[in-house]
Amino acid sequence: MTSATRILIDTDPGIDDAMAIFYALASPELEVVALTTVFGNCHTDVATVNALRLLDIAERPDIPVVEGAVAPLVMPYRGPVAFVHGTDGQGDVFLPPSSRAPLPTTAAQFIVDTVLADPDEITIVLLGPFTNMALAMMLCPGLTQHVKQIVVMGGAAFTSGNASPASEANVLNDPEAADIVFGADCPIVMAGLDVTHRITMTDDDLARFAAIDNPRAQHLAAIMPHYVRFYLERNGVHGIYVHDSTTISYLLAPELFSWRELPVRVDTGHSVCRGRTLPALRDSDEEGPWHGRRAVRILTDVDARAVIELELDHLSC
Protein backbone atom coordinates (compact mmCIF):
# COMPACT_ATOMS: atom_id res chain seq x y z
CA MET A 1 0.00 0.00 0.00
CA THR A 2 1.38 3.45 -0.88
CA SER A 3 1.54 5.92 1.99
CA ALA A 4 -0.67 9.00 2.08
CA THR A 5 0.59 12.22 0.47
CA ARG A 6 1.49 14.66 3.25
CA ILE A 7 -0.09 18.07 2.60
CA LEU A 8 0.11 21.41 4.37
CA ILE A 9 -2.89 23.60 3.56
CA ASP A 10 -2.48 27.39 3.64
CA THR A 11 -5.94 28.93 3.70
CA ASP A 12 -8.24 31.94 4.24
CA PRO A 13 -11.47 30.15 5.21
CA GLY A 14 -13.73 31.08 3.33
CA ILE A 15 -16.70 28.94 2.23
CA ASP A 16 -14.93 27.14 -0.62
CA ASP A 17 -11.86 26.77 1.62
CA ALA A 18 -14.05 24.93 4.15
CA MET A 19 -15.17 22.55 1.40
CA ALA A 20 -11.59 21.91 0.33
CA ILE A 21 -10.39 21.33 3.90
CA PHE A 22 -13.18 18.84 4.65
CA TYR A 23 -12.60 17.13 1.30
CA ALA A 24 -8.89 16.70 2.10
CA LEU A 25 -9.64 15.45 5.61
CA ALA A 26 -12.03 12.86 4.15
CA SER A 27 -9.40 11.55 1.71
CA PRO A 28 -7.38 8.58 2.99
CA GLU A 29 -4.94 9.25 0.14
CA LEU A 30 -3.95 12.53 1.88
CA GLU A 31 -2.53 13.30 5.32
CA VAL A 32 -3.19 16.92 6.34
CA VAL A 33 -0.18 17.88 8.50
CA ALA A 34 -1.32 21.44 9.38
CA LEU A 35 -3.46 24.39 8.42
CA THR A 36 -1.71 27.75 8.13
CA THR A 37 -3.79 30.89 7.79
CA VAL A 38 -3.67 34.06 5.79
CA PHE A 39 -5.78 37.17 5.11
CA GLY A 40 -7.92 37.11 1.98
CA ASN A 41 -11.59 36.27 2.24
CA CYS A 42 -11.39 37.61 5.81
CA HIS A 43 -8.79 39.10 8.15
CA THR A 44 -6.12 36.64 9.31
CA ASP A 45 -7.39 36.43 12.91
CA VAL A 46 -10.82 35.43 11.58
CA ALA A 47 -9.19 32.90 9.24
CA THR A 48 -7.33 31.39 12.20
CA VAL A 49 -10.45 31.08 14.33
CA ASN A 50 -12.28 29.51 11.38
CA ALA A 51 -9.48 27.00 10.76
CA LEU A 52 -9.68 25.91 14.40
CA ARG A 53 -13.47 25.71 14.28
CA LEU A 54 -13.43 23.65 11.07
CA LEU A 55 -11.04 21.17 12.68
CA ASP A 56 -13.37 21.04 15.71
CA ILE A 57 -16.28 20.16 13.42
CA ALA A 58 -14.14 17.50 11.74
CA GLU A 59 -13.02 16.22 15.17
CA ARG A 60 -9.34 16.60 14.25
CA PRO A 61 -7.70 18.23 17.31
CA ASP A 62 -4.45 16.51 16.32
CA ILE A 63 -3.92 18.88 13.36
CA PRO A 64 -2.12 22.10 14.30
CA VAL A 65 -3.17 25.56 13.13
CA VAL A 66 -0.57 28.27 12.65
CA GLU A 67 -1.43 31.91 12.06
CA GLY A 68 0.21 33.63 9.13
CA ALA A 69 0.67 37.02 7.54
CA VAL A 70 -1.88 39.76 8.20
CA ALA A 71 -1.04 41.79 5.09
CA PRO A 72 0.52 41.40 1.63
CA LEU A 73 4.26 41.82 1.10
CA VAL A 74 4.09 45.33 -0.33
CA MET A 75 0.63 46.89 -0.59
CA PRO A 76 -2.09 47.15 2.09
CA TYR A 77 -4.66 44.34 2.41
CA ARG A 78 -7.63 45.00 0.09
CA GLY A 79 -10.06 43.93 2.83
CA PRO A 80 -12.52 41.12 3.55
CA VAL A 81 -15.14 40.07 0.99
CA ALA A 82 -18.14 39.65 3.30
CA PHE A 83 -20.49 39.80 0.30
CA VAL A 84 -18.96 36.51 -0.90
CA HIS A 85 -18.16 34.60 2.31
CA GLY A 86 -20.05 36.40 5.10
CA THR A 87 -18.72 38.73 7.81
CA ASP A 88 -17.46 35.66 9.69
CA GLY A 89 -16.01 34.09 6.52
CA GLN A 90 -18.42 31.19 7.04
CA GLY A 91 -21.69 32.40 5.58
CA ASP A 92 -22.70 34.34 8.72
CA VAL A 93 -23.47 31.20 10.73
CA PHE A 94 -21.24 32.45 13.60
CA LEU A 95 -19.75 29.22 14.91
CA PRO A 96 -18.99 28.81 18.64
CA PRO A 97 -15.43 29.60 19.73
CA SER A 98 -12.85 26.84 19.60
CA SER A 99 -11.18 25.63 22.80
CA ARG A 100 -7.90 25.35 20.89
CA ALA A 101 -5.34 28.02 20.03
CA PRO A 102 -2.86 28.33 17.15
CA LEU A 103 0.74 27.23 17.69
CA PRO A 104 3.02 30.03 18.93
CA THR A 105 5.01 30.46 15.73
CA THR A 106 4.49 32.06 12.34
CA ALA A 107 3.14 30.28 9.29
CA ALA A 108 6.26 31.08 7.27
CA GLN A 109 8.57 29.65 9.94
CA PHE A 110 6.30 26.63 10.35
CA ILE A 111 6.37 25.95 6.60
CA VAL A 112 10.18 26.10 6.62
CA ASP A 113 10.45 23.79 9.64
CA THR A 114 7.91 21.30 8.28
CA VAL A 115 9.58 21.04 4.88
CA LEU A 116 13.10 20.73 6.30
CA ALA A 117 11.96 18.07 8.78
CA ASP A 118 10.62 15.91 5.96
CA PRO A 119 12.49 16.85 2.78
CA ASP A 120 10.88 16.01 -0.58
CA GLU A 121 7.72 14.69 1.11
CA ILE A 122 5.59 17.78 1.78
CA THR A 123 3.05 19.05 -0.73
CA ILE A 124 2.00 22.66 -0.08
CA VAL A 125 -1.58 23.54 -1.04
CA LEU A 126 -2.26 27.28 -1.29
CA LEU A 127 -5.93 28.30 -1.09
CA GLY A 128 -5.49 31.99 -0.30
CA PRO A 129 -2.98 34.73 -1.23
CA PHE A 130 0.51 33.22 -1.54
CA THR A 131 2.09 35.49 1.11
CA ASN A 132 3.06 32.85 3.69
CA MET A 133 4.78 30.65 1.10
CA ALA A 134 6.65 33.65 -0.33
CA LEU A 135 7.77 34.64 3.17
CA ALA A 136 8.94 31.06 3.81
CA MET A 137 10.95 31.17 0.56
CA MET A 138 12.52 34.47 1.67
CA LEU A 139 13.32 33.08 5.14
CA CYS A 140 14.99 30.02 3.66
CA PRO A 141 16.39 30.46 0.14
CA GLY A 142 16.61 27.02 -1.47
CA LEU A 143 13.62 25.75 0.53
CA THR A 144 11.59 24.77 -2.52
CA GLN A 145 14.29 22.36 -3.67
CA HIS A 146 12.98 20.24 -0.79
CA VAL A 147 9.25 20.74 -1.43
CA LYS A 148 7.57 17.82 -3.18
CA GLN A 149 5.06 19.98 -5.01
CA ILE A 150 3.10 23.23 -4.66
CA VAL A 151 -0.53 23.17 -5.81
CA VAL A 152 -2.19 26.57 -5.89
CA MET A 153 -5.73 27.81 -6.37
CA GLY A 154 -4.99 31.06 -8.09
CA GLY A 155 -4.46 32.88 -11.32
CA ALA A 156 -6.13 33.07 -14.72
CA ALA A 157 -3.74 32.26 -17.56
CA PHE A 158 -6.00 32.15 -20.64
CA THR A 159 -9.18 33.68 -19.29
CA SER A 160 -10.25 36.83 -17.49
CA GLY A 161 -10.04 37.38 -13.74
CA ASN A 162 -12.70 37.46 -11.05
CA ALA A 163 -11.38 40.17 -8.70
CA SER A 164 -10.61 42.40 -11.69
CA PRO A 165 -10.87 41.73 -15.43
CA ALA A 166 -7.14 40.98 -15.34
CA SER A 167 -6.68 39.12 -12.08
CA GLU A 168 -7.93 36.29 -9.93
CA ALA A 169 -8.60 37.15 -6.25
CA ASN A 170 -5.83 35.19 -4.52
CA VAL A 171 -3.21 36.61 -6.87
CA LEU A 172 -4.58 40.17 -6.81
CA ASN A 173 -4.44 40.06 -3.00
CA ASP A 174 -0.65 39.74 -3.19
CA PRO A 175 0.82 39.82 -6.72
CA GLU A 176 4.39 40.19 -5.44
CA ALA A 177 4.05 37.00 -3.38
CA ALA A 178 2.47 35.13 -6.28
CA ASP A 179 5.32 36.10 -8.58
CA ILE A 180 7.82 34.75 -6.04
CA VAL A 181 5.93 31.46 -5.61
CA PHE A 182 5.54 30.88 -9.37
CA GLY A 183 9.35 31.08 -9.46
CA ALA A 184 9.77 28.24 -6.96
CA ASP A 185 12.26 25.47 -7.63
CA CYS A 186 9.83 22.54 -7.39
CA PRO A 187 6.88 21.24 -9.40
CA ILE A 188 4.04 23.79 -9.32
CA VAL A 189 0.45 23.15 -10.35
CA MET A 190 -1.84 26.11 -11.01
CA ALA A 191 -5.54 25.39 -10.52
CA GLY A 192 -6.73 28.82 -11.62
CA LEU A 193 -9.92 30.16 -13.14
CA ASP A 194 -9.05 28.45 -16.47
CA VAL A 195 -10.19 25.22 -14.85
CA THR A 196 -12.24 26.22 -11.77
CA HIS A 197 -14.72 28.16 -13.90
CA ARG A 198 -15.40 24.87 -15.72
CA ILE A 199 -16.59 23.19 -12.51
CA THR A 200 -20.03 24.31 -11.37
CA MET A 201 -21.71 22.48 -8.53
CA THR A 202 -25.38 22.81 -9.35
CA ASP A 203 -28.20 23.49 -6.93
CA ASP A 204 -29.02 19.75 -7.15
CA ASP A 205 -25.43 18.83 -6.24
CA LEU A 206 -25.52 21.23 -3.31
CA ALA A 207 -28.82 19.83 -2.07
CA ARG A 208 -27.00 16.51 -1.63
CA PHE A 209 -24.92 18.01 1.23
CA ALA A 210 -28.03 18.55 3.29
CA ALA A 211 -28.84 14.85 2.99
CA ILE A 212 -25.39 13.68 4.19
CA ASP A 213 -25.53 12.78 7.85
CA ASN A 214 -22.16 13.99 9.13
CA PRO A 215 -21.17 17.27 10.84
CA ARG A 216 -18.86 18.35 7.99
CA ALA A 217 -21.53 18.08 5.32
CA GLN A 218 -24.08 19.67 7.62
CA HIS A 219 -21.77 22.67 8.16
CA LEU A 220 -21.29 23.02 4.40
CA ALA A 221 -25.06 22.85 3.89
CA ALA A 222 -25.48 25.63 6.48
CA ILE A 223 -22.91 28.03 4.97
CA MET A 224 -23.68 27.39 1.31
CA PRO A 225 -26.79 29.61 0.86
CA HIS A 226 -24.64 32.74 1.30
CA TYR A 227 -22.23 31.61 -1.43
CA VAL A 228 -25.05 30.50 -3.75
CA ARG A 229 -26.72 33.90 -3.41
CA PHE A 230 -23.48 35.65 -4.35
CA TYR A 231 -23.05 33.59 -7.53
CA LEU A 232 -26.63 34.12 -8.59
CA GLU A 233 -26.70 37.87 -7.90
CA ARG A 234 -23.19 38.75 -9.17
CA ASN A 235 -22.61 36.19 -11.93
CA GLY A 236 -26.07 34.92 -12.86
CA VAL A 237 -24.75 31.41 -12.14
CA HIS A 238 -27.08 28.77 -10.66
CA GLY A 239 -24.77 26.88 -8.31
CA ILE A 240 -21.16 27.61 -7.33
CA TYR A 241 -17.71 27.44 -8.83
CA VAL A 242 -15.64 24.89 -6.97
CA HIS A 243 -12.44 26.91 -6.67
CA ASP A 244 -10.35 25.67 -3.73
CA SER A 245 -11.45 22.01 -3.86
CA THR A 246 -9.97 21.73 -7.34
CA THR A 247 -6.50 21.48 -5.78
CA ILE A 248 -7.62 18.43 -3.81
CA SER A 249 -9.35 16.83 -6.81
CA TYR A 250 -6.11 17.26 -8.78
CA LEU A 251 -4.09 15.55 -6.04
CA LEU A 252 -6.56 12.65 -5.92
CA ALA A 253 -7.18 12.23 -9.65
CA PRO A 254 -4.80 14.14 -11.93
CA GLU A 255 -5.97 11.96 -14.84
CA LEU A 256 -9.26 13.90 -14.84
CA PHE A 257 -7.43 17.11 -15.87
CA SER A 258 -5.57 18.44 -18.88
CA TRP A 259 -2.90 21.13 -18.77
CA ARG A 260 -0.18 23.14 -20.45
CA GLU A 261 3.28 23.58 -18.97
CA LEU A 262 4.72 27.10 -19.27
CA PRO A 263 6.68 29.51 -17.04
CA VAL A 264 4.40 32.07 -15.38
CA ARG A 265 5.08 35.64 -14.28
CA VAL A 266 2.71 37.92 -12.41
CA ASP A 267 2.17 41.58 -13.29
CA THR A 268 3.30 43.45 -10.18
CA GLY A 269 2.93 46.85 -11.78
CA HIS A 270 0.33 49.37 -10.73
CA SER A 271 -1.67 49.41 -13.92
CA VAL A 272 -5.12 47.97 -14.68
CA CYS A 273 -3.35 44.64 -15.28
CA ARG A 274 -1.94 44.33 -11.74
CA GLY A 275 -2.14 40.69 -10.64
CA ARG A 276 -2.46 39.23 -14.13
CA THR A 277 -0.79 35.81 -14.47
CA LEU A 278 1.17 35.73 -17.71
CA PRO A 279 2.38 32.40 -19.16
CA ALA A 280 5.28 32.56 -21.62
CA LEU A 281 3.54 31.46 -24.80
CA ARG A 282 6.74 31.51 -26.77
CA ASP A 283 10.38 30.96 -25.85
CA SER A 284 11.52 33.73 -23.58
CA ASP A 285 14.39 35.93 -24.63
CA GLU A 286 17.72 35.21 -22.97
CA GLU A 287 17.67 37.02 -19.63
CA GLY A 288 14.06 38.17 -20.17
CA PRO A 289 11.59 38.13 -17.25
CA TRP A 290 10.49 34.49 -17.87
CA HIS A 291 14.00 33.20 -18.53
CA GLY A 292 15.19 30.45 -16.20
CA ARG A 293 11.80 29.91 -14.52
CA ARG A 294 10.44 26.39 -14.28
CA ALA A 295 7.35 25.56 -16.27
CA VAL A 296 4.17 25.68 -14.19
CA ARG A 297 1.54 23.01 -14.84
CA ILE A 298 -1.47 25.21 -15.72
CA LEU A 299 -4.69 23.20 -15.51
CA THR A 300 -6.83 24.06 -18.53
CA ASP A 301 -9.64 21.52 -18.69
CA VAL A 302 -11.32 18.89 -16.58
CA ASP A 303 -13.96 16.18 -16.49
CA ALA A 304 -16.14 18.39 -14.32
CA ARG A 305 -18.88 15.87 -13.58
CA ALA A 306 -16.29 13.31 -12.48
CA VAL A 307 -14.56 15.68 -10.02
CA ILE A 308 -17.89 16.81 -8.56
CA GLU A 309 -18.90 13.19 -7.97
CA LEU A 310 -15.45 12.47 -6.50
CA GLU A 311 -15.82 15.32 -4.02
CA LEU A 312 -19.41 14.45 -3.07
CA ASP A 313 -18.38 10.79 -2.55
CA HIS A 314 -15.55 11.83 -0.23
CA LEU A 315 -17.70 14.27 1.72
CA SER A 316 -20.30 11.53 2.28
CA CYS A 317 -17.83 9.42 4.30
Residues in the chain: 317
- Output 153 or 308, the one with its CB closest to ligand RIB: 153
**Any catalytic annotation for residue 92?**
no
Interaction between residue 17 and Ca ion (CB under 5 A): yes
12, 16, 88, 267: the active-site residue: 12
d(CA 37, CA 8): 11
Q: Please identify which residue in 146, 226, 243, 276 interacts with ligand RIB, judged by CB under 6 A.
A: 243
Q: Which of residues 99-158 bind ligand RIB (CB under 6 A)?
A: 127-128, 153
Q: For the window 228-267, what string marks contact with Ca ion as x by the rule CB under 5 A?
A: ----------------x-----------------------
**Any catalytic annotation for residue 146?**
no
Q: What, of Ca ion, ligand RIB, none, does residue 88 touch, CB below 5 to 8 Å by kind? A: none
Q: What, of Ca ion, ligand RIB, none, does residue 239 touch, CB below 5 to 8 Å by kind? A: none
The answer to whether 68 and 102 are in contact (CB under 8 A) is no
- Output 102 or 161, the one with its CB closest to ligand RIB: 161
Q: Please identify which residue in 8, 32, 57, 127 interacts with Ca ion, judged by CB under 5 A.
A: 127
Q: What, of ligand RIB, Ca ion, none, does residue 219 touch, CB below 5 to 8 Å by kind? A: none
CB of 41 to ligand RIB, least distance (A): 5
Q: Please identify which residue in 17, 174, 179, 311 interacts with ligand RIB, judged by CB under 6 A.
A: 17
5-11 and 200-201 strand pairing: unpaired
- Output 17 or 67, the one with its CB closest to Ca ion: 17
Interaction between residue 89 and ligand RIB (CB under 6 A): no
End-to-end Cα spacing for the chain: 21
Q: Which amino acid is at 234?
A: R
Q: Which amino acid is at 43?
A: H
Q: Which window, 51-59, 89-97, 127-135, 182-190, contacts Ca ion (CB under 5 A)?
A: 127-135
Interaction between residue 68 and ligand RIB (CB under 6 A): no
Q: Does 86 sit behind a cis peptide bond, omega within 30 degrees of 0 on the bond before it?
A: no
d(CA 238, CA 308): 15
Q: For the window 163-182, what string marks contact with ligand RIB as x by the rule CB under 6 A?
A: -----xxx------------
Q: What are the two backbone dihedrals, phi and then psi, of residue 181, each rounded to the nearest 5 degrees?
A: -70, -40
CA distances from 314 to 19, 108, 167, 248 (A): 11, 30, 31, 11
Q: Is residue 177 within a helix (H) or strand (E), and if so which, with residue range? A: helix 175-181
CA distances from 262 to 4, 75, 149, 298 (A): 28, 28, 16, 7
197, 219, 243, 314: the active-site residue: 243
Q: Which amino acid is at 291?
A: H
d(CA 182, CA 132): 13
Active-site residue set? 12, 243
Question: Which residues form the interface with ligand RIB (CB under 6 A)?
Answer: 12, 14, 16-17, 40-41, 127-128, 153, 162, 168-170, 243-244
Question: Which residues form the interface with Ca ion (CB under 5 A)?
Answer: 12, 14, 17, 127-128, 244
